[in-house]
Amino acid sequence: MARVRIGIVGCGKVGHIHAAALSSLPEAVFAGVCDNDGRRAREFGARYGVPAFDNLTRMLEEAAVQAVVICTPHPVHAAPAIEAADRGVHVLVEKPMAASLADCDAMLEAARTGGAHLGIVSQRRFFPPVVRMKEAIDAGKIGTPVLGAVVMLSWRDEAYYRSDPWRGRWDTEGGGVLINQSPHHLDILEWLMGPVEEITGNWANLNHPYVEVEDTALAIIRFRSGGLASIMVSLSQKPGIYTKIHVHGSNGASVGAQTDGGATFIAGMSSVLEPPVNDLWTIPGEEHLLARFQQEDGDAFRAVDATTYYHYLQDQDFLRSIVEGRPPSVTGEDGRKVVEMITAIYRSQAEHRPIPLSR
Ligand SMILES: NC(=O)c1ccc[n+]([C@@H]2O[C@H](COP(=O)([O-])OP(=O)(O)OC[C@H]3O[C@@H](n4cnc5c(N)ncnc54)[C@H](O)[C@@H]3O)[C@@H](O)[C@H]2O)c1
């Protein structure tokens, strides 16, 4: 089997999840790690038995990596992604793709000119109940998807925001719940119902006075198909309750998943505790399958380490996309759409109007 030499940029919390995946993936040669905190890089490298570097340039030159996974804070995704892609090194970027559309465009341009694959992490797309929703919608089982809802009722405490200096600040995080916790579900919604025509949004900080960014956002999306969706994402419920995505079709049938029970997991701080399950399935003739799906989803969840397994699947997809010469399942263009949705919600509140998205 062809194997790809791959390194990690950013030896923090989510870096460990990718390190676990790359250490066990048959498609990977885990070839190096780098962090601008040299001590952190050395400790991380020692733990996984791979060479460590205190900057990306040295890792690219000395570890001969063919691909990298970018695990730095989001406003720092673009610079290493562009440096790698410029050299033709394939790039998988943690979500969100970046904190600005200008960064996204520069990353896409670098990947195009460098001939590099550019993928964006959205590991919940690989959840079995979400895959089931996608397959049902693509098979036309709900007619056309005409109405969607994302509801995230989650929680982050003060210790979470204090855990790293970049969290909770506009300049170093680029926003709050929208830019950090919501990209997964915005990506899935766009995947199931997109493309998006326009967005109207509002956001607020309801009960996190120790951070300057929003802990809650609401939005209404109009899709180019004429379909509509609502988004309510919040980190202000203590304890966290659930995150769900539901899609209703033109034939009246509905499909849905609870992707997260309780609060969404925090890499390096908490685990995925409840199985992602379908919680809604009214496709004519398939209503009775819901209980079976839930049983299967529970069994699948108990058979894996769910905190790392879906990153494993996406890293594997990315490596295979390189070997097979096909686009990764979640592309840079997909990541840009999510950042465009997020920035449109911020702008909509600031400008008191719906924001049209680019075509
Ligand atoms: N897919 C998921 O479920 C998931 C989960 C957690 C985090 N993330 C994303 O991963 C990214 C990192 O989050 P985290 O929680 O691991 O953060 P973290 O603070 O724990 O780790 C970030 C690391 O990047 C390093 N770093 C900063 N600038 C650098 C640079 N220029 N070059 C090299 N290293 C640099 C820091 O020293 C730190 O070690 C964020 O964009 C976050 O949204 C995704």
User: In degrees to the nearest 10, what's the CA dihedral of 72, 77, 82, 83?
Assistant: -20
pLDDT at 273: 81
pLDDT at 272: 78
Residue 193 pLDDT exceeds 80: yes
Residue 117 pLDDT exceeds 90: yes
User: Residue 266: how many CA atoms within 13 Å on its side-chain side?
Assistant: 16
Residue of minimum CA distance from atom 15 in ligand 1: 13
* 91 CA from centroid of ligand 1 (Å): 15
The string of pLDDT tens digits covering residues 221-251 is 999 999 999 999 999 999 999 999 999 999 9
pLDDT > 90 in the chain, percent = 95
Instruction: Specify the ligand 1 atom closest to the Cα of 122.
Output: 1
- The pair of structure tokens assigned to 280 is 């809604």
**Which of 9, 60, 72, 182 gets mutated to test ligand 1 (max ligand atoms within 8 A of its CB)?**
72
Distance CA 315, CA 321 (A): 10
Query: Is the Cβ atom of 177 under 6 angstroms away from ligand 1?
Result: no
Whole-structure pTM value: 0.98
β-strand pairing of 228-234 with 242-249:
unpaired
**Average pLDDT for 51-57:** 97
Listed in sequence order, the residues at least 6 apart from 45 whose beta carbon sits closer than 8 Å to its beta carbon are 11, 32, 33, 51, 52
Residue 1 pLDDT exceeds 80: no
**Which of 33, 34, 35 gets mutated to test ligand 1 (max ligand atoms within 8 A of its CB)?**
35
**DSSP codes, 334-346:** HHHHHHHHHHHHH
The string of pLDDT tens digits covering residues 145-161 is 999 999 999 999 999 99
